Amino acid sequence: MSEELWSRVFEPFDRLGAEISSTPGTGFGLSVSKQLIERMGGKIGFKSSLGEGTTFWVEVPIAHSETTLSN
């Protein structure tokens, strides 16, 4: 994905590359994912290289329990 598109990745209803793809969709998935992850105190991002591909990453904090479960 080209750098000029990076700022639009998480915008709702923005289907990047829709003009050259016949893949159906609403362009809402990444926007919803970002909102949910951030509400859980996490982060989402990506690394992209034109002609090579894009990799998305997600970080979500883990809550530690005071209770120990036994088998």
Which pLDDT belongs to residue 7? 82
The whole model's pTM is what?
0.67
Give the Cα separation of 17 and 26 in Å (integer): 12
Which pLDDT belongs to residue 21? 59
Domain boundaries, the chain: 3-18+25-59
Burial of residue 54 (CB within 10 Å: 0-12, 13-18, 19+) is: middle
Summarised one tens digit per residue, pLDDT across range 13-68 is: 666 655 555 666 666 678 999 999 999 999 999 999 988 999 999 999 988 777 77
Q: Tell me if residue 33 falls in helix, strand or coil.
A: helix
Q: Tell me if residue 37 falls in helix, strand or coil.
A: helix
| Angle (CA) 28 21 15, round 5° | 20
Q: Tell me if residue 61 falls in helix, strand or coil.
A: coil
